[in-house]
Amino acid sequence: MLWDKGQSVAAWVQRFTVGEDYRWDTLLLPYDIEGTRAHAAGLHRIGILSDEEFQAVSEALDALKAEVAAGRVVVRPEDEDAHTVIETFLTERLGDTGKKIHTGRSRNDQVLAAIRLFLKDGLREAGRQVARLVEHLCELGAAYNDALMPGYTHLQQAMPSTAGLWALGYAELLLSDLAALRHAYDQVDVSPLGSAAGYGVPFLELPREEVAQQLGFRTLQLHVTAVQLSRGKLELHAAHALVQVGATLNRMASDLVLFNSQEFGFVELPPEFCTGSSIMPQKQNPDVPELVRAGYHRLLAEMNVLLTLPANLPSGYHRDLQLTKEAVIRCVLHAHDLLTAMVQL
């Protein structure tokens, strides 16, 4: 363990504090490797790593990246986190040169860099999926512009409408959600590196701006104390945007379930996206849109963790904040599943 300086803890304490973090850190490993690469470049720039040492670290990180991509390196419970895996790999390969990589950084700013890089990718992918869904809905809008369908208020037939207008209404709503994703992307697109445990690195002039640029961040958090204060808060921006998308999908899925029923009969879902009944062979159940409808509430649950967990915490880092990682990663992965389901449907 990176924190282990000859101190041991009880086995149950290790299990309790690590929890499921090692699973999520396996997903973050590729991003943590890139964060480490940029940090190494910064150390090279200020003379902590020589030319030869920096070259050796870069090559070792390339080798580790290949091992991770092949599935041969993952984070195990005994590793605790991705950071230990990376530094152990470098130290085993490079000896004292590998140990130098931790100069000027803490696990606190290291994990946030990896999470934010993960979130940037996750929000971009969500945006692409939303855009595809908008395109599909616009195609439906054009194809069924004259297909008459009742418009409902209070679930009672109210005014004549069309299936095309139904589709275009959801397309416009998703465009609004796309704007929320863009805003969330801008919020998380800031580098925390150089803040270390939350109060910077005295006596070491880290090239924070250059490292941020190398990692593709639009800027950095200037005041190092802002980094830990924003933990959970920036993740909340991402989760809130995904919840907005989920809210739109929830209502669209509700319509599809209802309109697919024999009583309405406006929609015929593809048989390959329906399941049967164990006792009633004549049935085709709309499980996919039903689970999309339900999935919105799972997004809300994860967002609620991010909304409430940092509340009432004093400034600085607290172990409570570890739980924000799982919440936001779950939110991103589940939102991708919901969008994939609706795009395929």
Strands 156-162, 148-153: pairing is antiparallel
Question: Using CA atoms, how far apart are residues 20 and 247, in angstroms rounded to an integer?
Answer: 28
Question: Using CA atoms, how far apart are residues 27 and 333, in angstroms rounded to an integer?
Answer: 11
Residue 261 bears catalytic tag = no
First to last CA, the chain: 46
Q: Give CA angle at 296 (285, 189), nearest 5°.
A: 140
* CA dist 263 → 7, 76, 266 (Å): 68, 52, 9
* CA dist 63 → 110, 224, 292 (Å): 20, 32, 40
Residue 102 bears catalytic tag = no
The residue annotated as part of the active site, out of 277, 297, 315, 318, is 277
What are the structure tokens assigned to 325, written together?
Answer: 């990682």
What are the structure tokens assigned to 56, written together?
Answer: 């050796």
Buried b (16+ CB within 10 A) or exposed e, 240-271: bbbbbbbebbbebbebbbbbbeeeeeebebee
* CA dist 6 → 3, 92, 134, 205 (Å): 9, 19, 57, 30
Question: Using CA atoms, how far apart are residues 146 and 108, in angstroms rounded to an integer?
Answer: 57
Q: Catalytic residues, which ones?
A: 154, 277
